[in-house]
Amino acid sequence: MRDGIITIVAVIIAFLALDDISTDTATSFAVERGALVMCGVWFGLVSWRTRRLGRRGLRNVSLGVTVALALAQSAIGPGTVPSLQIASVVTLAGLGWFAVLAGILVRSDGRAGIQPAAGRI
Protein backbone atom coordinates (compact mmCIF):
# COMPACT_ATOMS: atom_id res chain seq x y z
CA MET A 1 0.00 0.00 0.00
CA ARG A 2 2.89 2.32 0.77
CA ASP A 3 4.18 2.09 -2.81
CA GLY A 4 0.77 3.04 -4.16
CA ILE A 5 0.47 6.07 -1.90
CA ILE A 6 4.00 7.27 -2.70
CA THR A 7 3.31 6.75 -6.41
CA ILE A 8 0.19 8.93 -6.38
CA VAL A 9 2.13 11.63 -4.49
CA ALA A 10 4.88 11.40 -7.13
CA VAL A 11 2.28 11.76 -9.91
CA ILE A 12 0.94 14.91 -8.25
CA ILE A 13 4.43 16.35 -7.74
CA ALA A 14 5.37 15.59 -11.36
CA PHE A 15 2.18 17.20 -12.64
CA LEU A 16 2.74 20.32 -10.53
CA ALA A 17 6.38 20.57 -11.62
CA LEU A 18 5.44 20.24 -15.29
CA ASP A 19 2.66 22.78 -14.85
CA ASP A 20 5.08 25.24 -13.27
CA ILE A 21 7.63 24.72 -16.05
CA SER A 22 5.06 25.26 -18.78
CA THR A 23 3.33 28.28 -17.25
CA ASP A 24 6.15 30.18 -15.56
CA THR A 25 8.51 32.65 -17.23
CA ALA A 26 11.54 31.90 -15.08
CA THR A 27 14.86 31.22 -16.77
CA SER A 28 15.83 28.28 -14.57
CA PHE A 29 13.72 25.40 -13.37
CA ALA A 30 16.30 23.55 -11.30
CA VAL A 31 13.89 22.70 -8.48
CA GLU A 32 11.16 21.55 -10.86
CA ARG A 33 13.54 19.49 -13.00
CA GLY A 34 15.04 18.00 -9.83
CA ALA A 35 11.55 17.04 -8.67
CA LEU A 36 10.91 15.41 -12.06
CA VAL A 37 14.14 13.44 -11.78
CA MET A 38 13.17 12.22 -8.31
CA CYS A 39 9.70 11.25 -9.56
CA GLY A 40 11.28 9.44 -12.51
CA VAL A 41 13.58 7.52 -10.20
CA TRP A 42 10.59 6.54 -8.04
CA PHE A 43 8.56 5.50 -11.11
CA GLY A 44 11.43 3.28 -12.23
CA LEU A 45 11.81 1.79 -8.76
CA VAL A 46 8.12 1.11 -8.26
CA SER A 47 7.95 -0.34 -11.79
CA TRP A 48 10.68 -2.80 -10.93
CA ARG A 49 9.05 -3.65 -7.61
CA THR A 50 5.76 -4.66 -9.27
CA ARG A 51 7.37 -8.03 -9.98
CA ARG A 52 6.37 -9.09 -6.47
CA LEU A 53 2.79 -9.02 -7.70
CA GLY A 54 3.79 -11.72 -10.15
CA ARG A 55 2.91 -9.49 -13.09
CA ARG A 56 5.89 -9.29 -15.42
CA GLY A 57 3.86 -7.49 -18.10
CA LEU A 58 2.83 -4.78 -15.66
CA ARG A 59 6.46 -4.23 -14.73
CA ASN A 60 7.62 -4.10 -18.34
CA VAL A 61 4.93 -1.62 -19.40
CA SER A 62 5.68 0.56 -16.37
CA LEU A 63 9.41 0.58 -17.13
CA GLY A 64 8.67 1.51 -20.74
CA VAL A 65 6.38 4.33 -19.63
CA THR A 66 9.10 5.59 -17.27
CA VAL A 67 11.57 5.80 -20.15
CA ALA A 68 8.99 7.52 -22.37
CA LEU A 69 8.25 10.07 -19.65
CA ALA A 70 11.95 10.78 -19.17
CA LEU A 71 12.38 11.43 -22.89
CA ALA A 72 9.19 13.50 -23.24
CA GLN A 73 9.76 15.82 -20.30
CA SER A 74 12.77 17.44 -21.94
CA ALA A 75 10.49 18.75 -24.71
CA ILE A 76 8.30 20.58 -22.21
CA GLY A 77 9.40 24.10 -21.45
CA PRO A 78 8.10 27.58 -20.82
CA GLY A 79 5.06 28.33 -22.92
CA THR A 80 4.29 24.70 -23.70
CA VAL A 81 0.53 24.29 -23.91
CA PRO A 82 -1.29 20.98 -23.66
CA SER A 83 -1.89 19.75 -27.19
CA LEU A 84 -1.75 16.66 -29.33
CA GLN A 85 2.03 16.97 -29.66
CA ILE A 86 3.84 13.78 -28.78
CA ALA A 87 5.50 15.17 -25.63
CA SER A 88 2.16 16.35 -24.22
CA VAL A 89 0.34 13.12 -25.03
CA VAL A 90 3.14 10.93 -23.64
CA THR A 91 3.33 13.01 -20.46
CA LEU A 92 -0.41 12.96 -19.82
CA ALA A 93 -0.73 9.26 -20.65
CA GLY A 94 2.35 8.39 -18.58
CA LEU A 95 1.16 10.22 -15.50
CA GLY A 96 -2.24 8.62 -16.00
CA TRP A 97 -0.61 5.19 -16.20
CA PHE A 98 1.18 5.72 -12.90
CA ALA A 99 -2.03 6.94 -11.26
CA VAL A 100 -3.65 3.68 -12.39
CA LEU A 101 -0.63 1.69 -11.19
CA ALA A 102 -0.92 3.39 -7.80
CA GLY A 103 -4.53 2.20 -7.60
CA ILE A 104 -3.47 -1.32 -8.54
CA LEU A 105 -0.79 -1.32 -5.86
CA VAL A 106 -3.12 -0.03 -3.16
CA ARG A 107 -5.82 -2.51 -4.12
CA SER A 108 -3.50 -5.52 -4.37
CA ASP A 109 -1.88 -4.81 -0.99
CA GLY A 110 -5.31 -4.55 0.59
CA ARG A 111 -6.51 -7.94 -0.65
CA ALA A 112 -5.97 -11.02 1.43
CA GLY A 113 -3.86 -13.76 -0.03
CA ILE A 114 -1.39 -11.73 -2.09
CA GLN A 115 1.87 -13.56 -1.93
CA PRO A 116 5.19 -12.33 -3.31
CA ALA A 117 6.12 -14.02 -6.56
CA ALA A 118 9.05 -16.17 -5.47
CA GLY A 119 11.86 -16.35 -7.98
CA ARG A 120 10.15 -14.27 -10.67
CA ILE A 121 12.17 -11.56 -12.29
112 burial class (0-12, 13-18, 19+ CB within 10 angstroms)? exposed
How far is Cα of residue 29 from the mean position of the Cα atoms in its chain? 19
Q: What is the pLDDT of residues 42-88, one digit of tens each?
A: 999 998 888 777 778 888 999 999 999 888 887 777 767 667 788 88
7 burial class (0-12, 13-18, 19+ CB within 10 angstroms)? buried
Distance of alpha carbon 104 from alpha carbon 110, whole angstroms: 10
Identify each DSSP E strand in the chain by its residue range.
Answer: none
Map out the domains of the chain as residue ranges. Answer: 2-109
Predicted TM-score (pTM) of this structure: 0.77
